[in-house]
A and B are shown apart, each in its own frame.
Chain A
Amino acid sequence: MASSGSISISKAEKSFIQAGLISNPPSRADGRSLYDFRAISLETGFAPLANGSARLSIGRNPHDGSGGTEVLAASKLEVESVEPGGGGVDGGRIACTVTCSPAAYPHLSSSALDDLQYDITTVLHETLTHRSLHPKNLGILIGKKAWVLHLDIVVLVDSGNVYDAVFMAARAALWDTKVPRTRSVEYKAKKGVVGAGGAISSSIGKKKGAGSGEEGGGGDMDVAEEVVSGFDTRQIRNATDFELPDYWDEGEVLDGRDAWPVCVTLNVVPPTHFLDATLPEEAATSLRLLLMFAFDPSRHDSPNVQGMRTLGTGELEVSQLQELIKQGEKYARYIWTALNTKLKEESLGRLKDRTKF
């Protein structure tokens, strides 16, 4: 039932790992302290056909590129009909999918793998698609069309701490995402001319209602002269279609990209806890606490918790939980700061690449 990707290890190994973690000073197999992360490497924009993408690995060996958790994330935008039956919603929507490569979990049966990726998908989807995080620029035409953002994540290799990796990769890919600009197009029939195909002129207005465009000036004049009944309370939306002024790799950044949370997994081995568990360590831990934090740059003292989950068979006291949340906030802030620095570096690097010519 509780399908975790964890491997099964012997009782002796389990107790050896636990004894190491709670000994003083604590010792781990790879010599890290309890709150050390393995080295994280991140690259954005690796998938040229996606609207935004990121490739992240935790703990890859820098010399031969072996080992480590490896996650790919890519976002792709599609236009969706908002009309009944289209499945879309006004203002757009986000759909997250996590796929676990069978190569990453050779010990799991295909149904257990399905369950595992469904579980990770649920946590990611419920956290990222909450109203409080919804980007404002996914709508196209009210009542007609909207963008749907598919965020697809592939876990290529799992050597522990997959939730943190997935959330970091998701944040990086969404940060990298560019939404193509759209302009709404409306067709207006000339007054007095009935049913003449040639009489349809197009006027192009900016999406955010920035007035009418330059083309089809005659049509605009006619509309302005139309007498509108004071009793007509229906709102008639004229925009019927939209066009894309951008090329495929241009666009504006996704709104609210600062707000996507990072996840920190606290592996609880009473009386202590540790971060960034490897696979054997995960198998020796009975309780994990996932904390999704986002830090608003304008308000330094009050972070937002965007999600919280407990996984595993362990139990907690309230006082323990309070302490864990407090500590988790501290770790999450480190991850947040480091990730932001890296993301800014990446976008600067990309800007340099583009202006080289």
Chain B
Amino acid sequence: MAQPAFDRRRINGPEESHPPVFIDEEPSQTRSVKSRKGRASSDIRPIFLQPGLISQATGSAYIETERTKIACAVYGPRQSKGTGFHEIGRLNVEVKFAPYSCQDRRAPMRDAEDRSIAMAVHQAIVSSVRLETFPKATLDIFITVIETDGLEGCVAAGSIAASTALVHAGVEVFGLVVSCSAAAVGDEIWLDPTDEESKISGGTLVLSCIPALTSITSVWQTGRMSPKEILGCIDTCQSRCNDIHGVVAQALSSPNVPG
């Protein structure tokens, strides 16, 4: 939750300030786009994934898909503090944005945290973790968004990073969770949309699944889509998830993973 308290630890800027709008950055009025610029509709942005970047954490991962850059650290399982007895372990996800991660500055403390993304990531990975193997304990996952390009891509990349970090930490999981986003633009389905692309789309969908078990862990759809479009999106996302699964598996098994 956002904290309304005044931040005494930092030098606060003026009460009101606005990011400047540059002429060449005026929001493009390309409402009706016929075809995608730069890549084919079923192409995703290339993924760079490296486990073990944060040496202090039990497990960690860093993911980069063009302009989306996310670092993720896993601590635990460690003793739950201040909560009652829990027969199964607790999974705690926190998402924090760096102040410089978005177009508009996200003030530290005030709006750095985003619970809705944390909720989506939690939903994506919770069913893969064998929580019953560590009663009374908590797994903390901290996700730091360094740069973002589209909310959907952020959720998808965050889920992949969290799952990779969990495996890197040696936590027992049923399978790797990978995630893929899609946007319905006109009659086409564009995978892994950027911020601009999802703004011109009619609706977006993020699918998280465990390809090893062919099961879906989370569907997160917003905007207007027909049931047929949704099923189409799910199918294309799922087949692309199989490819991403290969990327994650390769990153985890490569010999130069630290830790």
Contact = CB atoms under 8 A, between A and B. Distances in A.
A2 interface: yes
Contacts of A111: 1
Interface residues of A, number: 39
Interface stretch (A53-61, A169-177, A319-327, A335-343): A319-327
Nearest to B210: A315
A306 B224 contact: yes
Nearest to B17: A85
A13 interface: no
A319 B148 CA distance: 33
B115 A122 contact: yes
Interface in A82-107: 84-85
Contacts of B91: 1
A294 B225 CA distance: 10
Contact of B231 (A126, A306, A310, A322): A322
B235 interface: yes
A133 B126 CA distance: 32
B227 A305 contact: yes
A132 interface: yes
B122 A321 contact: no
Interface string B91-125: 11100000000000000000000011011001100
A1 B90 contact: yes
Nearest to A114: B1
Contact of B119 (A122, A130, A302): A122
Interface string B222-259: 11111100110011001000000000000000000000
B216 to A, nearest CB: 5
Chain A contact residues, majority secondary structure: mixed
Interface in B199-236: 202-203, 205, 210, 213-227, 230-231, 234-235
A83 to B, nearest CB: 11
A127 interface: yes
A304 B224 CA distance: 6
B221 A308 contact: yes
Contacts of A236: none
A305 B230 contact: yes
A307 B221 CA distance: 5
A314 B127 contact: yes
A64 interface: no
B119 A317 contact: no
Contacts of A193: none
A115 B1 CA distance: 8
A325 B227 contact: yes
B16 interface: yes
Given A1-B90, A305-B225, A318-B235, A325 B122 contact: no
Contacts of A289: 219
Contact of B223 (A114, A115, A130): A130
Contacts, number: 101
Interface residues of B, number: 39
A152 interface: no
Contact of A326 (B93, B119, B227): B227
Nearest to A11: B87
A132 B203 contact: yes
A127 B222 CA distance: 6
Nearest to B131: A313
Contacts of A80: none
Contact of A118 (B92, B115, B127, B219): B115
Contact of B215 (A126, A130, A317): A317
A346 interface: no
Interface string A133-145: 1000000000000
Contacts of B126: 1-2, 313
Interface of B: 1, 16, 18, 90-93, 115-116, 118-119, 122-123, 126-127, 202-203, 205, 210, 213-227, 230-231, 234-235, 238
29 contacts: A1-B90, A1-B93, A1-B122, A1-B126, A84-B18, A85-B16, A85-B18, A114-B1, A115-B115, A126-B222, A130-B224, A132-B224, A294-B224, A303-B226, A304-B226, A305-B221, A305-B225, A305-B226, A305-B230, A307-B223, A308-B219, A308-B220, A308-B221, A315-B210, A315-B217, A316-B215, A317-B216, A321-B216, A325-B230
Given A303-B226, A304-B226, 17 more contacts: A1-B126, A111-B1, A115-B115, A119-B115, A130-B222, A132-B224, A305-B224, A308-B205, A308-B221, A310-B220, A314-B127, A315-B210, A315-B215, A316-B215, A317-B214, A318-B214, A318-B235
